[in-house]
């Protein structure tokens, strides 16, 4: 196992904070289906490039973007409610844990390291996703977007997660999959293990293809 210097220097972390959507739980198909349906109801298509712009952003920011794309100014709150209702229903029916997520969370807990979730999603979606994935009771703190003043990429969510865990950001590790989340964790001062959802440059401290990689389990076991 070859760890990056930053994680070797950190040693045993004081806490670990996970993103939820696309990192722990495969909710992206639910988000995409809900968004595509909203576009279709207005006679519009949702291209892959357009869809990529929704990944990682908050639900309210997604609603604001839709209002502009749909040329429906002033409807942000209505679109937000429409989106959340559709996504929650889909997650409750079809979401699954991401490969390796259950094992990694269990290993961190077994090592005695506090764990949290910090998500740009509202609490109803985060709770539905964790419940569906079998992770409802796995965390010491769950920090949805309503908990802070600013969503990712601002550092607020990660700072609040560290506050609730009682850890300093410099001694805490984030697991992220989006560029938005990476910027948030970096801004808060956390080391970042990345499992990127999209192709392209992802300057995390350690970039993995999947949480199933043997090296992840070996690293956690070394704590």
The answer to whether the bond into 153 is cis (omega within 30° of 0) is: yes
The C-alpha atoms of residue 82 and residue 74 are separated, in whole angstroms, by 14
Please tell me whether residue 127 adopts helix, strand or coil conformation. Answer: helix
pLDDT tens per residue across all 223 residues of the chain: 689 999 999 999 999 999 999 999 999 899 899 999 999 999 999 999 998 888 878 888 999 999 999 999 999 999 999 999 999 999 999 999 999 999 999 999 999 999 999 999 999 999 999 999 999 999 999 999 999 999 999 999 999 999 999 999 999 999 999 999 999 999 999 999 999 998 899 999 999 999 999 999 999 999 9
CA within 13 Å, CB half, 203? 3
Please tell me whether residue 159 adopts helix, strand or coil conformation. Answer: helix
CA-nearest of 109, 139, 111 to 25 is 139
User: How large is the angle between the packed helices 76-94 and 123-133, nearest 10 degrees?
Assistant: 10
Domain spans in the chain, listed from the N-terminal domain onward = 5-27+96-221, 28-94
**CB neighbour list of residue 128: distance below 8 Å, 6 or more residues apart:** 88, 91, 92, 95
**CB neighbour list of residue 140: distance below 8 Å, 6 or more residues apart:** 114, 115, 116, 164, 165
- How much is the pLDDT for 1? 61
Q: What is the CA radius of gyration of the chain?
A: 17
Q: How far is CA 140 from the centre of its chain?
A: 16
Specify the CATH superfamily of domain 5-27+96-221: HAD superfamily/HAD-like (3.40.50.1000)
How many residues in total does the chain contain? 223
- How much is the pLDDT for 114? 98
- How much is the pLDDT for 165? 98
- How much is the pLDDT for 59? 86
């Amino acid at each position: 196992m070859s760890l990056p210097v930053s994680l070797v220097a950190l040693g045993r972390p004081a806490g670990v904070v996970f993103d939820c959507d696309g990192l722990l739980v495969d909710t992206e198909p639910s988000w995409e289906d809900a968004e595509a349906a909203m576009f279709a109801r207005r006679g519009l298509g949702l291209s892959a490039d357009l869809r990529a712009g929704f990944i990682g952003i908050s639900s309210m920011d997604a609603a604001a973007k839709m209002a502009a794309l749909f040329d429906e100014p002033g409807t942000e709150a209505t679109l937000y409610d429409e989106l959340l209702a559709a996504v929650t229903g889909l997650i409750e029916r079809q979401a699954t844990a991401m490969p390796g997520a259950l094992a990694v969370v269990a290993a961190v807990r077994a090592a005695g390291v506090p764990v949290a979730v910090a998500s740009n999603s509202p609490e109803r979606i985060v709770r539905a996703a964790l419940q569906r994935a079998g992770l409802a009771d796995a965390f010491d703190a769950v920090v949805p977007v309503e908990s802070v003043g600013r969503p990712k990429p601002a550092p607020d969510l990660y700072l609040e997660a560290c506050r609730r865990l009682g850890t300093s950001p410099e001694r805490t590790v984030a697991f992220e999959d989006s560029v938005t989340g990476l910027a948030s964790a970096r801004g808060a001062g956390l080391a970042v293990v990345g499992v990127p959802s999209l192709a392209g440059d992802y300057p995390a401290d350690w970039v993995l293809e999947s949480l199933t990689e043997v090296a992840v389990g070996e690293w956690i076991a070394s704590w």
